[in-house]
Amino acid sequence: MTKLSVNINKIATLRNARGGNMPDLLKTAADIESFGAQGITIHPRPDERHIRYQDARDLKALVTTEYNIEGNPVKQFIDLVLEVRPTQVTLVPDAVDAITSNAGWDTVKHKDFLKDVIQTFKNAGIRTSIFVDAEAKMVEGAAETGTDRIELYTESYAKDYGKGPEKAVMPFTEAAKIAYQCGLGLNAGHDLSLDNIKYFKENVPHLLEVSIGHALICEALYLGLENVVTMYLNKLK
């Protein structure tokens, strides 16, 4: 079974909109775990517009499943991850002003930089993952950095799924095979939803984990959070 890690950034966005502590981010994370999710993901950004750096610290004492912190490895982020020591760190090349992640790493161009950062985290006993596009060259380049895993950036799959799922998933199927041949663990995330997750799971081999936030929280507004987590878990069997 592919693991479900729930990204709770949107819970923090809602909390921050009014100040105070409603909804309670920590309680929500604990509830999501109690509903069966096998991980919690956060993506703190320098402006702390949703997840705050203190949230990352507070969650460390609470999360009992896999704890995944993702973000651009600027110094502030690196320091935070080394302090908190989550289960996994996922490196994402998002710009400071990006609304959301919108590209994977060029693992060829940035190989030396990624190697240094990854070694820093691995020395601290933290599993590493790199956010990459579903391109053979980028997957192969990731393998040369020493990373443990890659996370396939799935926006194009989600965007094209309605036009034809077979064509939409093809690059991801091939990228997954290459990752396996290179000895890389495989994660995936970005715009995966209840509509498209089952087909993705069935057609992308060796998929260890998906990270889902925006769609899951939107679906939960209508269907309820516990129900939606259960629905994802059923589709990932």
Which residues form the catalytic set? 43, 70, 190
Write down the residue that tokens 């320091």 correspond to: 79
Under a CB-based contact definition with an 8 Å cutoff, are residues 209 and 201 in contact? Answer: no
Geometric angle at alpha carbon 196, from 179 and 5, rounded to 5°:
60
SS (H, E, C) 116-157: HHHHHHHHCCCEEEEEECCCHHHHHHHHCCCCCEEEEECHHH
Can you say how many angstroms the Cα of residue 124 is from the centroid of all Cα atoms in its chain?
20
> d(Cα 174, Cα 61) in Å, to the nearest integer?
38
Strands 149-153 and 127-132, bridge-based pairing: parallel
